[in-house]
Amino acid sequence: MKIAARAKTATQRLWALCRGETATLASLLEARSPAWPLTCAIVIILGCGTYGGAIGLWRAPLQAGFTAIKMPLLIFLTWGGNALLNGLLAQILGAELSFRQTALTILMSFTIAALLLGALSPVALFILANTPPLGSTARGTGHSVTLLADVGMIAYAGILANRRLMSLLRHLCPTPEIAQRVFWAWLAGNLFFGAQVSWILRPFVGSPALAVEFLRSDPLRGNFYEAVYRAVKHLIF
């Protein structure tokens, strides 16, 4: 009975999170129980893990397994790396949020992103079924399409997740103008830092010319933006 009650409470809280119910979310920020952060972490593992497995299948089942592990890891590393920075930015911009409130707010936004990515997993599988496979002569095109679709869906989920918590920021910040500034600062930080962490943790889709690996032997060589440019250039030219 206790497990059922806890599951029901977690579901209600996730529903409130997706609906952006300010009063409920504000009360969760003040709660000291680890139950809510643990719920967020579990959702991130399940949602991002499912999505990661879907996009990694283009290269190989082993790559799908690796990516299912690395997608949640990417989220947690981005959250940990940005928690301190975003806490400082919030105070500099006049939001008067504690570091604990900032960290939990960001964790909630990543939870929404994980739910969206989990829901987009069938879309990733549809793209997989309709792009040139690894064994075809057009495998480079298949890789570029899969990579760019992956980048687009992750960016979409991240932007929408941050936008969904805008009402909470307006509630927490002294003025709507400060809430807007904090929102854009956090969004830029999450996208920039997350992009570079994803590059270090590559491969996610997996290059057709390279072996299946958990991590590349040269993780700091190049950057995320060069890879996206090359994928776009391959499709256009």
Structure confidence by residue, pLDDT tens digits, 152-195: 999 899 889 988 888 888 888 889 899 999 999 888 888 888 88
Q: Let me know if residue 4 belongs to a domain.
A: no
**Domain extent at residue 75:** 34-236
Round to whole Å and give the CA distance between 131 and 126.
9
* Mean pLDDT rounded to a whole number for the chain: 87
Q: Let me know if residue 52 belongs to a domain.
A: yes
Residue 1 pLDDT greater than 70, yes or no: no
Q: Let me know if residue 8 belongs to a domain.
A: no
What is the pTM assigned to this prediction?
0.89
Q: Please tell me which of 7-11, 51-55, 93-97, 165-169 the model is most confident about, judged by mean pLDDT.
A: 51-55
Q: Let me know if residue 7 belongs to a domain.
A: no
pLDDT class of 237 with cuts at 50, 70, 90? low
Round to whole Å and give the CA distance between 15 and 25.
11
Q: Let me know if residue 143 belongs to a domain.
A: yes
Q: Are 174 and 96 within 8 A, CB to CB?
A: yes
Name the packing angle between helices 176-200 and 99-129 (round to 10°). Answer: 50
- Please tell me what DSSP assigns to residue 59: T
Q: Which of 40-44, 57-61, 226-230 has the lowest mean pLDDT?
A: 226-230
Contacts with 124 (C-beta within 8 Å, 6 or more apart), sequence order: 51, 54, 55, 149, 150, 153
Q: Are 166 and 22 within 8 A, CB to CB?
A: no
Q: Are 205 and 56 within 8 A, CB to CB?
A: yes
Could you give the C-alpha distances from 55 to 50, 90, 138, 204, in angstroms and in order? 9, 34, 18, 7
Q: Let me know if residue 43 belongs to a domain.
A: yes
Domain count, the chain: 1
Q: Let me know if residue 156 belongs to a domain.
A: yes
